[in-house]
Amino acid sequence: MNKKIYLLYILLASMIIYPYSSFAIVYALPKNNNRLVGENIEIFTPKNNIRSLEYFSAQFQVGISNMLEANPDVDVYLPDSEKKLIIPHKLILPNKPHSGIVINNAEMRLYYYPKKNDTVIVLPIAIGTIEHATPSQWITSIKQKKKNPIWIPTKSMHDEYMKHGKILPTIFPAGPNNPMGSYALYLGKYYAIHGTNSNFGIGLRVTRGCIRLRPQDIEYLFNIVPIGTKVQFINEPIKSTIETNGMQYLEVHNPLSCNNKKGNNHTTESVTKYLTKKIQSILADHDPNIDYNIVKQALQDRSGIPINITRKQKYNNSTFQINKQTTCNLDL
């Protein structure tokens, strides 16, 4: 059941009692290979609200995309006063080994599993644009850690800016004007997990392929992740789990597009068709324990929140038809 609280109360209480590091979302790993963790929170924006959605997202350690999926009718620039917002803290852990760092591009979350510690730390991230996509099937490791990194734009970056009549500096020294922020975890020559000097963009596709975190989050991660930590990139817009109590859950996010052509509008219908095809490798066609009407609704809503898809015994089982011969035309 969701917890209903008023925003001002929780913000004031948390600022008084806890240091920032306590804001990192840390979940105890569930027992017996269960993967459902956390609880959603319901908050209300204050009267005469003047804050953007990013403000509320940052306070509760979620990204803009997660907030918009859970609250599709909210104004990203200025949510209505006394507006109810769902904070999506309930989630399904990726179906990957609980070790090192797992980055799921589709949900724009970073999962860190500290060694010999039955917990997982979850942080919201920004990823690469369509033109500069973050790798989605890649296993690497933390090669180097650097406080106060410098940034040296590549020739292609200089050329790109020149096309728009702008000139990039040859080097960005450490400081407030450095887009990498104050901390960087290098994954190789071209990619890093780093901070930012911007107060917006976490939960969006805004980088040149690197993983971007809010300044406090990268500082927190920098201080606890050792060099050599494995980092695995995945792209899973759909996650599912069967818990030991027999309940089955489905978590559906909007899939990432890889096509930015003008006029290529991804309708709800086309995205649903794409996800329906994708889900055939996750759920059986005729599982008597699944309510496929709920599955269909979850694919349409794409709330990014785990939904219980277990069929209640009193219901008649409906059939979820998946045409395995149909080709998905959605260019993602």
Residue 82, CB half-sphere, CA atoms under 13 Å: how many? 2
In the block, tokens 């996509």 appear at 133
- Nearest 5°: the CA angle 251, 283, 126 is 30
Measured between its terminal Cα atoms, the distance across the chain in Å is 35
Q: Which of 164, 210, 266, 286 is catalytic?
A: 210
CA separation for the pair 174, 253 (Å, rounded) = 36
Length in residues, the chain: 332
- How far, in Å, CA of 34 to CA of 48, rounded? 42
Per the residue annotation, which of 194, 253, 266, 328 is the catalytic one?
194
Q: What is the DSSP string of 52-73?
A: -HHHHHHHTT--HHHHHHH-TT
The answer to whether 328 is a known catalytic residue is: no
Q: Which residues are marked as active site?
A: 194, 210
